[in-house]
């Protein structure tokens, strides 16, 4: 039980820092760095352009990311690695969104972006 609680606290701390870093890169249009620092499956060569176009569209419709609030965290360890999935309410310049980040824990303990999903009415209505 203690290990589970410790993993959640550590996962929350690491995820909050990783989300802040992701948003700084997003706000500066550093999509290539997002892809370069992500897990190899997330930013694979064939998907880079799709990722860039997607992030540009989010930026165009929602603007820069601002304050975030963690609303859910899940840590799962298995044979494929340790994954931390966090859901955030995020304020953007032109609306609110729910962002889901899935991070894969690297060998040195850092989190690498493994998955990203965003939900916002502004993405559909604008």
Domain boundaries, the chain: 2-125
- Using one digit for the tens of pLDDT, what is the confidence trace for 6-62? 555 666 788 899 999 999 999 999 999 999 999 887 866 567 888 899 999 999 999
2 or 60: which leads in pLDDT:
60
CB atoms within 10 A of CB 74: 12
Q: For residue 57, give both structure tokens.
A: 């569209």
Residue appearing with tokens 């899935």:
102
CB 112 within 8 A of CB 101: no
> Is the pTM for the entire model greater than 0.95?
no
Rounded distance between C-alpha atoms, residue 70 and residue 86, angstroms: 7
Per-residue pLDDT for 3 more than 70? no
pLDDT of residue 60: 95
| CATH class for the region spanning 2-125 | alpha beta
């Amino acid at each position: 039980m203690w290990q589970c609680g410790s993993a959640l606290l550590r996962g929350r701390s690491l995820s909050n820092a990783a989300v802040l870093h992701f948003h700084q890169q997003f706000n500066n249009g550093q999509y290539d760095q997002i892809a370069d620092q992500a897990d190899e499956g997330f930013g694979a060569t064939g998907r880079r352009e799709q990722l860039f176009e997607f992030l540009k569209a989010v930026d165009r419709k929602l603007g820069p990311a601002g304050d975030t609030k963690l609303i859910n965290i899940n840590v799962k360890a298995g044979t494929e690695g340790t994954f931390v999935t966090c859901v955030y309410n995020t304020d953007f310049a032109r609306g609110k969104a729910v962002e889901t980040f899935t991070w894969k824990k690297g060998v040195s303990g850092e989190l690498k972006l493994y998955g990203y999903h965003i939900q916002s009415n502004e993405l559909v209505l604008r």
